[in-house]
Amino acid sequence: MSRASSLRLYITSRILLAPIMVWLATTIVFLLIQAAPGDVVDVKLGPNAPAALKESMRIQMGLDQPMYIQYFRYINQLLHFDLGSSTFTQGQPITQVIGEFFPATVELTVCGMMIAALVGLTVGSLAASRPNTPIDTGSRLFGIVTYALPMYWFGMILQLVFAVKLGWFPQGTRFPIDQLAPTGPTGLYVLDSLLHLNLAQFFTSVYYLALPSLTLGLLISGVFERIVRVNLRQTLKSDYVEAARARGISEFRILTAHALKNAMIPVITILGLTFAAMLGGAVLTEVTFDWPGLGNRLYIAISQRDADMVQGLMVFFATIVVVVSILIDVLNAYVDPRIRY
Amino acid sequence: MMVSLTRLSRRGFLVRIGQYAGLFALCLTLAVSCRGEGGSQPAADLGTGDRVSMGTTLSAGSLDPADAYETFPGILLYNLGDRLYTYTPGTTDLVPQLATELPTISEDGITYTIPLRDDVTLHDGTPFTAEVMAFSMQRFIENGGRPADLLSSKVAEVSAASPTELVIKLKAPVASFTSLLTFSGITPVSPEAYEIGAGNFKPSVFIGSGPYKLSEYSSSVIRLDANENYWGEQPANDGIDIQIFTSAANLYNSFVSGGLDVAYQTLDPDQISKLETDAPGNNWTVIEAGATVVDYLSLNQKIAPFDNLDARKAVAAMVDRPLIVERAFKDQADPSYSLIPTSFSDVSEPVFEEAYGDGNYDEAKKYLTAAGFSESNPMAFEVWYPSSSTPRSIAAQTIKQSIEQNLPGLVNVTVNTAESATLFGNIADGVYPSVMLNWYADYFDPENFVQPFLSCENGSEATLCEAGESQSSGSFYYSDKANQLVAEQNAESDPDKRNAIFKQLQELMAADVPYIPLWQVKDYVFTTSAVSAVDIQPNQQLLLWKIEKAS
């Protein structure tokens, strides 16, 4: 079988597996929500509502049916791309909530990933190219510390120092409450303000985005730094790198043009999975900075005991992770001919 | 040669890294330096004039008047809508708002006839009439939202006798009914925008008659715009922009870093202390008010040890409220000796202070002995509280430590916590021997602090409460006398006689100890020098339309 055919087969099999993975995730989420304490009708009508009204609401919502019927009804609803509606806000469609909050999560995640990639790759490359030097030791320390730091604590400290004490950055949120936020087709403030050529809005958006994305990026960069360092170091010892050195190619060129590319395959995997996980709600970062993204919305839904919202968002997150992981598998298979399927 | 090449390339590499870092720093510096400075160079102002920015951690799940039942939606509805009656700002004097006079009450106390204003228009242009008010009240009852019981348990019929006359017939006399009509949810809404039907709610819109219109509603931001066509006093500001924070720390940090004009509920005691200390140096104003929120311990009479009156009295004597207030609230609360808050100064009696005192361990020992407890048979005192409350956690631990230190071997205190939904679901099932809870009043009347605790529709003194208010409160208290007194105060129109009944009810509570009042928290609002005229009303409302913003 040719490589192209093999790759096609692999991609097809991965795509066919996707619905099964989403179904599994959906089933687990459904069962967990069912097992959670509390009553959806109580959330909707309050615990002191008349029993008759509660009962009629239970029938109306189908909660009087056996669990397997509720499950099949939910799956049928999902098959029609209907994630349901919020219990707590009495009927707000979850797709509308996703449309409202997801752009903020995307914006934070993309910026955080850019910072993480920049810092992680730079520090990791520096360390790999200077083994057993103070730079190497420092980068290892950086990797361990950023990996070990709790997001909630680190975010709070950064806010306290840079927002409250020094006043260099704003405190939390995505845009000043007393100003009109950029509107546009993407929902990404930075992009929308540029599309409208509104530089004031652009700089304000970046200003508000800076601290949360720096925090997120720095904390994730440790993971990248360690993977880059280990892989790059391994690659720099390989025969073709020695051969390149013998040909007089500069160390910088060896690093950037040859070694780094080959060391990137595991980094892409980790990068992609981290990206997917963060798109599925960088909950702690968003809550710490009051960033109005889906992670924050999930946190609010949990605290409000909004079971339908939690369920809908979890299914959305699971779908994102499944889709992105398939994309990564395909990308890896495409760029690395050694991968067999 | 190789060595020199490597050195050169390393230098070049470092230069590149430096360039990248420089570029990144430049972008960041540009963003920081080119941003709109505070509110002075905004990217795009929301209005031309004076809007007030306010932060809170309270959530507003629904703004549908027929369903909103939490503190914050109540405040928003109070500012978005009007009611038939309200209070003169700063007082507890009932005055007509959409009504033109106080109601005419029939001799039997059943029929309320209310004359209405004819110059009011709702936000969508619908004229306000008695039909609109009757529709709104009917919807409040029939849609079956969380506060529906406030009216459905009392009102038999609402009708419009004419466009300017509303007639309400009650099921039985309710002396506090006019006060009940000040409840934030009993407000006119547009029949064009709302429907009557069980469970039919509109949580994210509000079309009523008040001084503000709702312009944006989400879980993180709520915006109110001044209603230019308001029939009454125009708001002193152009609008209110409310940021809802997920944590007290973020609210605190936002306020101290100048991101907000007003910080309102809920900050931790440490943060409140710090703001109070720092206020003079920062030109902040601290507004402190006694709240009508009462925290108490509910004792379940259906299970041991609190099926024994002496055991309940022993706990009432052991509790040291000043110590709790000092440790858990840094004195930002007041000890409470009656379930009727001290803001009802002519009614509230410190009955528990008089009967049991605070940390009265000698008295507690006597009650414990009478209840059959000794060092060989210590009383097991199990305290539960909702896990979301940090001050209650400290309070529970303070109770445990103070009792075990002062009554060693006589009482074993166990402190337990459960997630709020689970805990509240279990209370009426009688799972917990004792629970620390709090009570937010629906309307400003002492009845609202008595009836939900002491009355019970179904039960007997032998079987205790089987279905009713005291079951929901977790005590399962049943007393024919309490039921009779609650009914009497409802039928009593003479304020002095009614107050005398409330005193009897408080004495009954101290004698039977179904609940132990613990503390009353104080309410705080912090403002910057940019705003003025911020005040917490005696009924705990924040009148947003009064807030002035310095231009």
- Confidence at residue A119, expressed as pLDDT on a 0 to 100 scale: 94
CB of B102 within 8 A of CB of B94? yes
Cis peptide before B305 (omega within 30 of 0): yes
CB of A318 within 8 A of CB of A18? no
Rounded distance, CA A202 to CA A194, Å? Answer: 6
Q: Is the pLDDT of residue A149 over 70?
A: yes
The strand pair at B165-170 and B111-115 is best described as antiparallel
Q: Which residues of B482-498 are buried (b: 16+ CB within 10 A; e: fewer)?
A: bbebbebbbebeeeeeb
Q: What is the pLDDT of residues A48-67, one digit of tens each?
A: 666 777 777 788 778 888 88
Tokens of A168: 């260099």
Rounded distance, CA B410 to CA B405, Å? Answer: 10
- Confidence at residue A84, expressed as pLDDT on a 0 to 100 scale: 86
Q: Mark out the alpha helices in B218-293 (DSSP H runs).
A: 248-256, 269-282
Task: State the DSSP code for A182.
Answer: P
- Residues in A touching B218 (Cβ below 8 Å): 100, 292
Rounded distance, CA B24 to CA A118, Å? Answer: 10
Q: Chain-centre distance of CA B354, in angstroms?
A: 28
Q: Chain-centre distance of CA B186, in angstroms?
A: 17
- Confidence at residue B282, expressed as pLDDT on a 0 to 100 scale: 95
Nearest alpha-carbon partner for B256 in A158, A165, A177, A130: A165
Contact A169 B32 (CB under 8 A): yes
- Confidence at residue B393, expressed as pLDDT on a 0 to 100 scale: 92
Average pLDDT of every residue of chain A = 86
- Residues in A touching B470 (Cβ below 8 Å): none
- Residues in B touching A159 (Cβ below 8 Å): 250, 253
Interacting residues of B107 by C-beta distance below 8 A, sequence separation 6+: none
CB of B111 within 8 A of CB of B155? no
Neighbours of A250 (CB within 10 A): 18
- Three-state SS for B193? coil
Any idea which of A48-62, A94-108, B419-433 has the lowest mean pLDDT?
A48-62
Contact B245 A172 (CB under 8 A): yes
- Confidence at residue A341, expressed as pLDDT on a 0 to 100 scale: 53
Rounded distance, CA B116 to CA B105, Å? Answer: 15
Interface test with B, best of A205, A290, A297 (most B CBs within 10 A): A290
CB pairs under 8 A between A and B: 207
CB of B47 within 8 A of CB of B212? no
Q: How confident is the model at residue B203 (pLDDT cuts 50, 70, 90)?
A: confident
Name the CA dihedral angle for B309, B315, B318, B324, rounded to a multiple of 10 degrees. Answer: -150
Q: How far lies B138's CA from each of B122, B123, B193, B306, in Å?
A: 18, 20, 15, 42
Tell me which H or E stretch contains B334: strand B333-335
Rounded distance, CA A160 to CA A86, Å? Answer: 34
Q: What is the pLDDT of residues B139-189, one digit of tens each?
A: 999 998 889 989 999 999 999 999 999 999 999 999 999 999 999 999 999
Rounded distance, CA A9 to CA A186, Å? Answer: 34
- Three-state SS for B461? coil
Stretch B499-528: mean pLDDT: 96
10 Å CB burial of residue A218 (0-12, 13-18, 19+) is buried
Which residues, in sequence order, are bridge partners of residue B157?
A: B169
Interface test with B, best of A60, A177, A308 (most B CBs within 10 A): A177
Tell me which H or E stretch contains B491: helix B480-491
Name the CA dihedral angle for B56, B214, B84, B124, rounded to a multiple of 10 degrees. Answer: 180
Look up the ipTM and state it. Answer: 0.81
CB of A327 within 8 A of CB of A14? no
Rounded distance, CA B522 to CA B293, Å? Answer: 8
Cis peptide before B342 (omega within 30 of 0): no
Could you tell me which chain A residue has the CA closest to the CA of B255? Answer: A171
Neighbours of B12 (CB within 10 A): 14
Share of chain A above pLDDT 90, in %: 37
Nearest to A172 among B152, B202, B250 (CB): B250
- Residues in B touching A307 (Cβ below 8 Å): none
Q: Tell me the CB-side half-sphere exposure of residue B67, using CA atoms within 13 A.
A: 28
Neighbours of B467 (CB within 10 A): 13
- Confidence at residue A335, expressed as pLDDT on a 0 to 100 scale: 72
Amino acid of residue B458: N
